[in-house]
């Protein structure tokens, strides 16, 4: 009996300690705001990890912000890209909306009415500093600017020059026919020819690249259409490479990182890459010699893939938080802050001043900067995109064992079922 009482007392005590801990962070509301400074409030940031330095890169901006606004507490949560969407969903379902979210999509939140239009939380001059062609990407189908891009990346094809030379391929392929021959030749030397990641992570990217290579695109009117002649053509060509065993094994269960690992270890001839992955190759795998070129298409027209990630601002119905968010974002996009932050991601900047500076100085990424002029973007602002993305991620990989027509009609059925 005495033991039990003791245990209960201990349990009760630990509960008190826990609650005391959890109230500790929010309990600094009393200090009065000095003139010109914002009143005490807390803003929350949820952002993915682009690399090892992401936490520190955000923290630098937060420290600078704290110097200007000492009354505002900034809570930063950094999560890995794997399952990042699940983390976002968890916050939304718990109604704990981050004031600032860095993500690669915005349509679902915008449609659900959870966001501020981004021009309400950024000054006009900050918005004007963003490259207009990239800013357009954050426009919703309703014409409102729901998100502002914060990072861009272009994708091009990387070829391992040593492996290509060994296989007797003189230049990186530009057309599908060239790619077939080149990949087959490289595969004949005992490594994989072309890396095709159709796993859950990026099947939507790979599938889109091939569709664009065939001259098509997903949107038809305001609908997204998976089952169309151009996509059948694209999937047929992808299947051709898989059937010829010119790709890495099991494309349907491979993610881009796994393909990049193969490339970095000299076991893969060609794959579609971005500047972040290539900077890893340069720094950690100096023995891999590579060349960047346009992504092959049916007739040789250059294809490049563009991605922008976005800043979204959730509406927490709190004027103070909104004001603090606005000041934070204006600081975030200012040249001295933004330069350090974007460089930490290994990707390309979105402000006109930084793009100009990067083009002039960043020789490693020159090809990616050049590609920014002809990149195509995924239809992320379309509310149907989530359904199409999920369907592509789950089903595109089955072309290894099924006909392109069947696979595409399955994808179409999944999109249609979700309205």
Which residues, in sequence order, are CB contacts of 201 under 8 Å at separation 6+? Answer: 82, 255, 256, 257, 393
CB 209 to other proteins: min, Å: 18
By C-beta, is 203 or 234 nearer to other proteins?
Answer: 203
210: alpha, beta or left? (left if phi > 0; alpha if psi -120 to 50): alpha
By C-beta, is 111 or 334 nearer to other proteins?
Answer: 111
Which residues, in sequence order, are CB contacts of 225 under 8 Å at separation 6+? Answer: 218, 219, 412
- CA neighbor of 331 nearest in space, from 122, 113, 119: 122
Do residues 196 and 206 touch, judged by C-beta distance below 8 A? yes
Which residues, in sequence order, are CB contacts of 160 under 8 Å at separation 6+? Answer: 263, 266, 268, 269, 270, 288, 289, 290
Asked if 4 touches other proteins (CB under 8 A), the answer is yes
**Which one among 12, 112, 171, 188 touches other proteins, defined by CB under 8 A?**
112
Q: What is the DSSP string of 116-158?
A: --GGGSS-HHHHHTB-HHHHGGGB-TTS-B--EEEEEEEEEEE
By C-beta, is 110 or 156 nearer to other proteins?
Answer: 110
Asked if 418 touches other proteins (CB under 8 A), the answer is yes
Asked if 109 touches other proteins (CB under 8 A), the answer is yes
Give the other-Cβ count within 10 Å of 393's Cβ.
18
For residue 375, list its beta bridge partners. 304
Looking at 103-111, 135-143, 275-283, 359-367, which segment touches other proteins (CB under 8 A)? 103-111
Asked if 410 touches other proteins (CB under 8 A), the answer is yes
Which residues ranging from 253 to 272 are in contact with other proteins (CB under 8 A)? Answer: 253-254, 262, 267
Which residues ranging from 39 to 98 are in contact with other proteins (CB under 8 A)? Answer: 85-86, 88-89, 92-93
**Which one among 77, 108, 119, 181 touches other proteins, defined by CB under 8 A?**
108
Looking at 146-154, 225-233, 292-300, 393-401, which segment touches other proteins (CB under 8 A)? 393-401
Question: Would you give the binding string for other proteins spanning residues 175-214, x where CB under 8 A is met?
Answer: ------------------------xx--x-----------
Looking at 104-112, 160-168, 315-323, 342-350, which segment touches other proteins (CB under 8 A)? 104-112
3-state secondary structure of 379: coil
Give the other-Cβ count within 10 Å of 403's Cβ.
14
Helix, strand, coil shares of the chain as percentages rounded to 5? 50, 20, 30
* Secondary structure element (H or E) that encloses residue 186, with its range: helix 176-188
CB 390 to other proteins: min, Å: 4
By C-beta, is 191 or 371 nearer to other proteins?
Answer: 191
Which residues ranging from 227 to 256 are in contact with other proteins (CB under 8 A)? Answer: 249-250, 252-254
Asked if 114 touches other proteins (CB under 8 A), the answer is yes
Asked if 163 touches other proteins (CB under 8 A), the answer is no
What residue ranges bind other proteins (CB under 8 A)? 1, 4, 85-86, 88-89, 92-93, 108-109, 111-112, 114, 199-200, 203, 249-250, 252-254, 262, 267, 386-387, 390, 393-395, 397-398, 410, 413-414, 416-419
């Amino acid at each position: 009996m005495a033991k039990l009482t003791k245990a209960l007392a201990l349990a009760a005590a630990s509960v008190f300690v826990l609650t005391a801990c959890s109230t500790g962070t929010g309990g600094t509301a009393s200090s009065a705001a000095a003139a010109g400074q914002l009143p005490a409030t807390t803003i929350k940031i949820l952002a993915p990890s682009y690399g090892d330095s992401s936490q520190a890169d955000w923290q630098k901006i937060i420290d600078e912000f704290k110097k200007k606004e000492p009354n505002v507490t900034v809570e930063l949560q950094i999560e890995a890209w794997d399952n990042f969407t699940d983390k976002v969903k968890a916050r939304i379902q718990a109604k704990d909306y981050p004031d600032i979210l860095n993500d690669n999509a915005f349509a679902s939140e915008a449609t659900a009415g959870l966001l501020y239009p981004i021009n309400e939380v950024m000054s006009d001059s900050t918005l004007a500093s963003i490259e207009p062609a990239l800013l357009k990407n954050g426009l919703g189908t309703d014409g409102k600017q729901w998100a502002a891009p914060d990072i861009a990346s272009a994708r091009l094809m990387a070829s391992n020059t040593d492996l290509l030379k060994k296989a007797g391929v003189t230049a990186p392929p530009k057309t599908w026919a060239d790619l077939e021959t080149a990949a087959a030749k490289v595969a004949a030397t005992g490594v994989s020819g072309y890396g095709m990641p159709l796993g859950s992570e990026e099947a939507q990217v790979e599938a889109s690249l091939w569709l664009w290579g065939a001259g098509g695109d997903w949107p038809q009117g305001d609908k997204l259409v998976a089952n169309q002649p151009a996509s059948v053509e694209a999937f047929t060509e992808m299947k051709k490479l898989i059937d010829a065993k010119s790709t890495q094994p099991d494309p349907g269960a491979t993610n881009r990182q796994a393909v990049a690992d193969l490339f970095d270890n000299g076991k893969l001839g060609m794959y579609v890459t971005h500047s972040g992955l290539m900077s890893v190759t340069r720094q950690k795998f100096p023995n891999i010699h590579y060349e960047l070129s346009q992504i092959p298409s049916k007739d040789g027209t250059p294809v490049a893939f563009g991605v922008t990630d976005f800043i979204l601002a959730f509406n927490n119905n709190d004027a103070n938080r909104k004001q603090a968010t606005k000041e934070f974002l204006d600081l975030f996009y200012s040249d001295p802050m933004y330069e350090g932050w974007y460089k930490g991601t290994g990707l390309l900047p979105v402000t006109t001043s930084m793009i100009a500076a990067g083009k002039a100085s960043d020789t490693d990424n020159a090809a990616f900067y050049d590609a920014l002029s002809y990149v195509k973007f995924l239809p992320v602002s379309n509310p149907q995109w989530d359904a199409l993305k999920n369907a592509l991620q789950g089903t595109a990989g089955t072309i290894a064992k099924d006909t392109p027509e069947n696979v595409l009609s399955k994808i179409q059925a999944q999109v249609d079922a979700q309205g």
